Amino acid sequence: MRYIYGPVPSRRLGRSLGVSPIPRKTCSYSCIYCQLGPTTRLTVERESFFPKEEIYAEIASTLPEAEADYVTFCGDGEPTLCKDLGWLIRRCKAEFGTPVAVITNGSLLHLPEVREELSEADLVMPSLDAGSADVFRQINRPHRSLDFDKVVDGLVAFRSEYRGPIWLEVMLVADMNDSVESLRELKRVLDRVKPDQVHLNVPIRPPAEQSVHVPPPESIRAARDILGRTHEITGYEVGSFGTVPGSRPEQTILETCQRHPLREEQADEIARALGVPGAVESLVKAGTLRRVPYSGKHYLIPSAPSGTAGHNLPNKEEST
């Protein structure tokens, strides 16, 4: 089991060494725009999914050679579902000089223990895509125990307690949350949360639902005008991908695509850097990866495991 991937070139974090402390597609949301496909385990129950010592050991063995700007806990779903997240953050902070970031959907910040664990991080990047309960349910498809006010109250509480920077991410989806009314509702909520930065994103990678599209330029301009000072994260990331020492080229490409779907030219670049220029085509021919066209680009997505069909699947929700 590999818990880390990259470093990957991030549009906000430079070279980011990704850490996934949760099983694939275990999340409290099933966002329609998710680049990893629909959630297969929809839950709000926090668990120790994997031995924390194993996760830390992988970080410790890779980070010295990774030349990473951040150690980033993000995962294949929602990282705050990992009960060991606070321990992992503290160990990384105690042992390494590399800053620690957490990318989270923010849904569990209503829990005091989650807020306390994230308080150790150097940077927290929660998301908020809606200013109303209706849009929240339409875009994020949350676990039934999560209501919009609970999520917002958690973000507000975290802002009052956390002394580090909060960069809040907004994913703009055409005809979902890009109307003037939706943006004004979102602005009212952002004024309560008071993040240090607001990052406007658009779905540049193949989304979970085919109905998801990039908003037109006029909608992005309206969002910038209504929401105020924002950072537009609407272009493709650039830069080289790192590789885990000793890993096979096919393994490196597959594990990266599982957490960070690659444009085909990016995967080819990794393969060439590892001295196996034909690795991508071999993975496609073997059925391990599949090409998915989106917005004029071809992306590489891991083929669905037995019994599933990849993107556009219904969710399996746990009872709580």
For each of the chain's 320 residues, which pLDDT tens digit applies? 589 887 887 777 888 999 999 998 999 999 999 988 899 999 999 999 999 999 999 999 999 888 899 999 997 899 999 999 999 999 999 999 999 999 999 999 999 999 999 999 999 999 999 999 999 999 999 999 999 999 999 999 999 999 999 999 999 999 999 999 999 999 999 999 999 999 999 998 889 898 999 999 999 999 999 999 888 766 665 555 665 555 676 777 887 777 778 888 888 887 887 788 888 888 888 888 888 888 788 888 887 643 333 344 334 444 33
**Assigned domain for 14 exists:** yes
Q: What is the pLDDT of residue 297?
A: 84
- Residue 219 has a CB neighbour count (10 Å cut-off) of 21
Long-range pairs of 304-308 with CB within 8 A, sequence gap ≥ 24: 308/40
In this structure, the answer to whether residues 178 and 294 fall within a common structural domain is no
In this structure, the answer to whether residues 269 and 124 fall within a common structural domain is no
Q: What is the pLDDT of residue 242?
A: 61
* CATH, residue 287: 1.10.10
In this structure, the answer to whether residues 143 and 264 fall within a common structural domain is no
Q: What is the three-class DSSP state of 240?
A: coil
185, 211, 239 — which closes off a domain?
239
Query: Which residue range is the domain that position 258 belongs to?
Result: 251-313
Q: Which two tokens stand for residue 294?
A: 């989106």
* CATH, residue 122: 3.20.20.70
Quick check: 200 and 172 in contact, CB under 8 A?
Answer: yes
- Angle among Cα 109, 19, 27 to the nearest 5 degrees reads 45
Residue type, 140: N
What DSSP designation does 69 have?
A: S
Q: How far apart are CA 220 and CA 313, in angstroms?
A: 29
184, 214, 239 — which closes off a domain?
239
Q: How far apart are CA 267 and CA 128, in angstroms?
A: 30
Question: How many structural domains comprise the chain?
Answer: 2
Quick check: 217 and 223 in contact, CB under 8 A?
Answer: no
Q: Which two tokens stand for residue 181?
A: 């009314």
Q: How far apart are CA 174 and CA 295, in angstroms?
A: 14
Residue type, 224: R
> pTM of the entire structure?
0.83
Q: What is the pLDDT of residue 37?
A: 87
181, 216, 239 — which closes off a domain?
239
Partners of residue 232 on adjacent β-strands: 200
Quick check: 162 and 189 in contact, CB under 8 A?
Answer: no
Q: What is the three-class DSSP state of 201?
A: strand
b (16+ CB within 10 A) / e for 29-59: bbbbbbbbbbbbbbbbebeebbebeebbeeb
**Assigned domain for 160 exists:** yes
Quick check: 164 and 121 in contact, CB under 8 A?
Answer: yes
Between β-strands 167-171 and 197-201, what pairing exists: parallel, antiparallel or unpaired?
Answer: parallel
Q: What is the three-class DSSP state of 168?
A: strand
Quick check: 125 and 101 in contact, CB under 8 A?
Answer: yes
Residue type, 264: E
